[in-house]
Structure formats: C-alpha cells, structure tokens
A and B are shown apart, each in its own frame.
Chain A
Amino acid sequence: MPDASAPPAGNDATAHSVSSPEGEIEIGRLSKVFGAGATAFRALDGVSLAIRRGEFFTLLGPSGCGKTTLLRLIAGFEQPSSGTLRIGGQEVAGLGPNRRPVNTVFQNYALFPHMSVADNIGFGLRMLGRRRAEVQSATAEMLRLVRMEELADRRPGEISGGQQQRVALARALAPRPRVLLLDEPLSALDLKLRKEMQSELKRLQAETGITFVFVTHDQEEALTMSDRIAVMNAGRILQTGSPEEIYNHPADRFVADFIGDTNFLEVELLEVAAAGARIRLPGGAALPANLPAGPAPAAGSCVTVVIRPEHARLADADGALAGTVERSVFFGTDTHVHLRLDDGSSFTLRRQNSAAAGPAPDPGSRVGIALAEGALQLLRN
C-alpha cells in the first residue's frame, strides 16, 4: 500500500516521520466529565498512556470502567474535559471525527443499510475525494482481504452477522487509517464465530501493519490477542503491560481478580530488596515473592500476595501451606480443588488431569500445598 493513501485528516507524511515509534497515540492526564454539579460523572480520570505504532493494544475492564469513553475520545465522538491527546504526533483535541486519521469498527457495525457492501467499503475514500478508479481498486483489495468478493453487491441486511463484521472491518481499513479502533466488535457473535474472527483480526493487523486499539470486557480475548493490555476500572488505568505481565505479575488487587482465577493471602512482609521480597506465609514458611512496580511497602507490614491456582500443587503434609479439602470440581483437562487453609482462608488449586495423576483427594482429607518458584506476587497497597 502506498503511504500516500493514508487519510490526510489534519496530518501528513511529515508528521508521520517526526513522531517517535513509541507513541502513535500519546495520552496525557486525559479526563472526561459528563454533566455538571452534583450529577457530574467522571468517566475518565487523568489517564496517561502511550500506544506504540503497529501494536495490538487492548483496553480491558468491566462495563462502565471508562474504556469506551477513552475510545470515543480518540475517535473524536467526544471531546475531553482536560488533558492532551496526540495521534501521530499531532494534538487532535477539538478536531471532529472526520478530521482524525482513525477509523472505528462499531459494536453494532453501523453499516449503511441503503448501500451495497462495496459502496460501504468505499465510503471513506469517496468522502476523502479520491478518484473513482482508486476507490474501486481499494474496495476490490479490501473485499479480497476480508474474503467477501462474492457478496460485493449485496446489502448489509442480506448477509450474516459474521459477514457484516468483515464488511465493517474492511470499511474501516479501506482508507488506511493510522489507527483502527475496535469497540467490542466480537461481542455480538457466537463462540465459534468469535474464535474465528479473533484470528482473522490478528491476520488483518499483521497484513496491514495498522495500530489496533481494541476494547473488550473479555479477559480471555484480551490475553490471547493483545501485544499489550491496559486494565481499567472506575475511569483509571490500573496496569499496563504484556498479557504475561498482567497475568503473572498483577500489581493491583482488582487486576488480579479481574483476570483469571486468583488466591489472595494476607502475609507478613519480612524484608524488601532490589531483586524481590521475602514474606512469611500464615503457616510459618518464609518464601521469596515478586515485588510490584512502584514504591515497595515497608518491611514488617501486613501485605497481600497473589497465587494463581495453577502455580500450586498438592503435596504431602510438608508443603508451604496446609489445609483441608472441601470439594473437587472436574473440568475435563483439569480439576479445581477447593481447600480451607488452617488459618481459615479459602484456597483453590488447579490439578492437571492425566493418566498418571490418580484420583482427586476426598473431601475432608488433610493435604499440603507446594508452591512453584516465583508463584507469589506481592500487590500494591
């Protein structure tokens, strides 16, 4: 694709080369307040973020966390109350959506019902005033990219939900935007189609090299698709990092709880060093633990550690922790064993089912719990 076909949208190739590869989108202390006075609602509260060029970036959080508001601010459908927002090195605050080099895939697709699939895909380029021949060739290429050549003349009402999804993607990609925004685009699809579209999205991103900003509340979707994830809650970003970082080293209780199954243990912090910390478990065992980013808590204080269920295994009576089995739940490939620790807290571990594993322990039996190395992650207070 020639670079000249990138939408002008208040920007040009010069700014493209000047901007650092670090920040395709640079967001500084961005806030959005809806309403005023006593009924004011702070949907976004001083968010700072840098999204790199060409990455698949996911905004993950529960509904109402501000992720969609942030997406709308980037698209230009809303204007920020305060803060800065730069796309490709250019400040875009005050510019309307038609003047920004970003395109959106809407949750309900928002295909134009009175236009054919091909006319939908070519709409952006036509609005940019491109020549007819150029619009046609770009539309044909997009139809091929999303494998919809045969349905070019159909209306959106005449194709399936999955096909509409592809058309919405093609329409948003056709003008070759700097950034593609995706607002929970897979939520309306059934499970099988969703899995299919997940790999389709990854393929399209790899083939076009366009920066994708993806909004979802589905943690599994976020983990499997993203280069980096920002976990949001109550209008703030709690943690930004690769899926592995977010999953293995959650810095925050909300992040740990929102992503995957988690055990929380209250422990005593023995010492803090550059490499890590040592903590004392309720049972008395002293073990190393990973420190979260940011200022470390003081030694001697009571802190919370996170242990993922798959990082613990049943041991003989001499494990780091000890407790009583309450019940076991069979999940096919693995079994979840729910335990009550001696200090009264609950604990879940995940046991891989294999021919050699033997039967799950009976309820009421006393067991030990061994923890894998590096399994303990300290949380920010």
Chain B
Amino acid sequence: MARTGFSITRLPGFGAIAIATFLMLYIPILTLVVFSFNAQASMSQWGGFSLQWYEAAYNNRQVRDVSIRSLWLAVVASGIATAVATLAALGTTRTSRFPGQTMIYALINQPLMVPEIVTGVALLIFFAAIKVQTGYTGMGYLVAAHTAFCIPFAYLPIKARLETMDLTLERAAADLYATSFQAFRHITLPLLMPGILAGFMLGFVISLDTVVITEFVKSAGQDTLPTYMLGQLRRQVTPEMNAIATLFLLLSLCAVTVFFLLSRKRA
C-alpha cells in the first residue's frame, strides 16, 4: 500500500464531521430565512409562501426608526474609526521603530482583548457620571463607544495594506520634488484606498452587529436594530422578526462581500 504520509482528509469520518459541522452552522440560519416567508404566524409549521412579514416589518414605524439609527451610527462611528485607524496605521508603519511600539499595538487592539461585557459595564458607569455632570443624553455616547470598538477592526486591513506597499514609491515621489504631504496625497493615499475602504466596511459591519455595548450605553429611545430585536424577542416571537433578521443578514453579507473584494484587490 502506497502511503505518502499523514493526511487529515484520509482520516475515517473526516467527511462526515465536516458535513455535520456545516449543517450545524447553516441549518438554523436557513430555517430562519425560510420561516420569514411563512404564511402562518408559526415558527414550526409551514403554511405556504407569503411576503406578509416583510410587509409588516416595512410598515412598522419602530423598525424603520431603529434601522435608520443603526445605519447612521454605523456610518458615523466607522467613518471616524477609519480616519483614526488610518493615522494609527501610518504612525506604526511609516516611522522608525520607537520604544513602546508593541505597547501601542496592544492599546490600539484593546477592544479585541477586553471582554465586551467589561467594556460595556465600564462605559455604563463612566458615561453615567458624565450624564449627571453635563445633562447631555444624545447619541454622542453611542458614537464614542462604537468608534472605539471599531478602531482595531478598521486598523488591521489598513495596516496590512501599508505593510505590503512598496516604500520606494514614496521615496520616488520625494525624489521627484513632492513634499511629504504631496507624496501622501498623490501616492500613499490612492494606493491605500482599498485598505481604507475595507477597514470602513469591516468597522461598519462590527458597529451594525454590536449588541452588548449598545445595550449598556444607550439612553431611552436610542435602540439600534439588534437591541430592538432583542427587546422584541423577550415579549413575543412572530415571523416578522425572521423577516427583519433576514434583511439584516443580507445587509451584512453585502458589506462583508465588499470588504472581501477590496482586501483581495492588488496594488
């Protein structure tokens, strides 16, 4: 028998486990999507195809409000986070090594390491103090919290792109009489753009998706789509929630696809 060495694909049961894993991952989501088209108000009995739950969701004023708030928050927070992350990436890749550089990486990536619930509680207490002092209860708290949370996700693709960029291009620009700002404006920024857009899309999805931090930070009447869905599910479950979740899923998939295409794009 010709054995060329250890191969994981030839282990008994490998295929079966792989298929089972994929089924576990996607059957619940598929079920959710299928029942969003159910003509009955049941989550377990199929009563024929219908778009009534999509219609109900569309006509639900609250759903529209929280969706717009979620999108607005995601765009604003991810936009600020991307700008900050771009500067951070430039500062950590376009300078000579400095003492404490590893520390800076750790600080930038803090939200990746600190449990979300801890950040949520910390922000709740911290913002409560500020609210008492200033009386301000606007969206600023959510924007700040989401921005901080999105920065590392925006930072990683931007930094990855900067690191693969040919440094001699910036040198060539300087050689051809460009000032540092002109070199950045005409060479670095255009070449970095796919990374910046990818960072923005990733931050956008993360912000859209965040439940824990939003739940702790939001004031009354500041529900986002995920916290609204959570609140609704506590009361009563109708396929309207399936329809909302399906649309939400579609939006996320689009954003992730854009991110993926941008990350693959070569310089």
Interfacial residues, chain A to chain B (CB-CB below 8 A): 7, 9, 75-77, 96-98, 102-104, 106, 108, 110, 112-114, 123-124, 127-128, 171-172, 175
Top 8 A-B residue pairs of the complex, sorted by shortest distance between their CB atoms: A124-B176, A110-B172, A110-B168, A127-B177, A97-B174, A127-B178, A97-B175, A98-B177
CB pair A123–B191 under 8 Å, yes or no, is: no
A283 to chain B, nearest CB (A): 56
B174 to chain A, nearest CB (A): 4
CB pair B166–A97 under 8 Å, yes or no, is: no
- In Å, the complex CA distance between A190 and B250 comes to 52
A83 to chain B, nearest CB (A): 21
CB pair B169–A112 under 8 Å, yes or no, is: yes
- In Å, the complex CA distance between A267 and B200 comes to 75
Q: Which of A7, A114, A127 is B190 in contact with, Cβ under 8 Å? A: A114
B266 to chain A, nearest CB (A): 9
- In Å, the complex CA distance between A113 and B190 comes to 10
CB pair A112–B172 under 8 Å, yes or no, is: yes
B138 to chain A, nearest CB (A): 41
- Any chain A CB within 8 A of the CB of B229? no
Of the A-B pairs whose beta carbons lie under 8 Å apart in the complex, a sample of 29, sorted by A's number, is A7-B177, A9-B177, A76-B174, A77-B174, A97-B175, A98-B176, A98-B179, A102-B175, A103-B175, A104-B175, A106-B168, A106-B171, A106-B172, A110-B168, A110-B172, A112-B172, A112-B173, A113-B169, A113-B191, A114-B190, A114-B191, A114-B267, A123-B173, A123-B176, A127-B173, A127-B176, A127-B177, A128-B177, A172-B175
- Any chain A CB within 8 A of the CB of B182? yes
CB pair A75–B175 under 8 Å, yes or no, is: yes
CB pair B176–A175 under 8 Å, yes or no, is: yes
Chain A contacts for B186, CB-based, 8 A: 123
- Any chain A CB within 8 A of the CB of B262? no
Chain A contacts for B173, CB-based, 8 A: 112, 123, 127
Per DSSP, chain A at the interface is loop
Other A-B contacts than A114-B267, A127-B182, 17 sampled, CB-CB below 8 A, are A9-B177, A77-B171, A96-B174, A97-B174, A97-B175, A98-B177, A102-B175, A104-B175, A110-B169, A112-B169, A112-B173, A113-B169, A123-B176, A127-B173, A127-B178, A127-B179, A172-B175
- Any chain A CB within 8 A of the CB of B71? no
Chain B contacts for A96, CB-based, 8 A: 174
Most-contacted residue by chain A among B173, B174, B175, B178 (CB, 10 A): B175
Contact with A along B187-199 (1 / 0, CB 8 A): 1001100000000
Chain B contacts for A175, CB-based, 8 A: 176-177
- In Å, the complex CA distance between A172 and B187 comes to 16
Per DSSP, chain B at the interface is helix
CB pair B171–A97 under 8 Å, yes or no, is: yes
- In Å, the complex CA distance between A128 and B178 comes to 8
CB pair A124–B191 under 8 Å, yes or no, is: no
Chain B contacts for A106, CB-based, 8 A: 168, 171-172
B170 to chain A, nearest CB (A): 9
A112 to chain B, nearest CB (A): 6
CB pair A108–B168 under 8 Å, yes or no, is: yes
CB pair B187–A112 under 8 Å, yes or no, is: yes
Nearest B residue to A96 via CB reads B174
Chain B contacts for A75, CB-based, 8 A: 175
- In Å, the complex CA distance between A271 and B186 comes to 67
CB pair A103–B176 under 8 Å, yes or no, is: yes
Most-contacted residue by chain A among B173, B179, B190, B191 (CB, 10 A): B173
Chain A contacts for B191, CB-based, 8 A: 113-114
A175 to chain B, nearest CB (A): 7
B156 to chain A, nearest CB (A): 23
- In Å, the complex CA distance between A112 and B170 comes to 9
- In Å, the complex CA distance between A273 and B119 comes to 89
Nearest A residue to B174 via CB reads A97
CB pair B175–A98 under 8 Å, yes or no, is: yes
Nearest A residue to B267 via CB reads A113
B99 to chain A, nearest CB (A): 15
Contact with A along B82-111 (1 / 0, CB 8 A): 000000000000000000000000000000
Nearest B residue to A114 via CB reads B190
